[in-house]
Amino acid sequence: MSTTQPTAATPSTAIAIRTCAVILEGRQICLIHRQRPDGDQYSLPGGLVHADEEVPAALARELKEELDLDLSALPGRPELRWVQDQITTRPGSDAPFRRLHLIHVLHVPPHARHTMAATEQDAEDHARIVWTDLDQAARLHLYPAAAEALSALATQASPVLLPPITDRTYSWR
């Protein structure tokens, strides 16, 4: 038995978890569009899960904050579809950037789509909310990098674990 006490806290190895949603109304998908110096970037709505939050509550909070979408008012619930690991280097940093993306699919009725915000409500840049055809979205620079899974969404079941996002497979914009 050791009587030695640790002198410093052990560094946390926790991975940040980002929950997001492929929001569909028919074959149209909701995306957040940002114009960046290196080109357009499209993101699935969502955000980080707080330490004291369960994933479904975090997704509901993020969609309410960003899109003013109230999940409790919808007939269907988001379904976890994919998980994607991310280890990349962000511009201006040499440290690895690590996240685990939990990607849900949510079908909304037309009336819900028309009540959603036209700009991202909780971001200073008020990025535009756009709806685009699912096939077109699969060809966009998408974050997280789930474009290939989107292209197979309507035709076949894709694997739950998507290929990781790395510096070789994704470039920040």
In a domain, 99, yes or no: yes
On the CB side of 168, how many CA atoms lie within 13 Å of its CA? 2
Task: Give φ, ψ of 47 to 5 degrees.
Answer: -175, -170
Question: Block means of pLDDT (10 residues each) for the chain, length 173 residues?
Answer: 47 83 96 93 97 96 97 94 92 89 96 95 92 94 92 71 84 79
Residue 173 inside a domain? The answer is no
> What is the extent of the structural domain holding 138?
25-166
Look at phi and psi of residue 25 and say left if phi exceeds 0, alpha if psi is from -120 to 50, else beta. beta
Within-domain flag for 18? no
Q: Are 112 and 72 in contact (CB under 8 A)?
A: no
pLDDT attached to residue 21: 98
Q: What is the CATH number of the domain that holds 105?
A: 3.90.79.10
pLDDT on residue 62: 98
Report the predicted TM-score, pTM, of the whole model to 2 decimal places: 0.85
Buried b (16+ CB within 10 A) or exposed e, 128-160: ebeebebeebbebbbbbbbeebbbebeeeebee
Q: What is the pLDDT of residue 19?
A: 98
Number of independent structural domains in the chain? 1
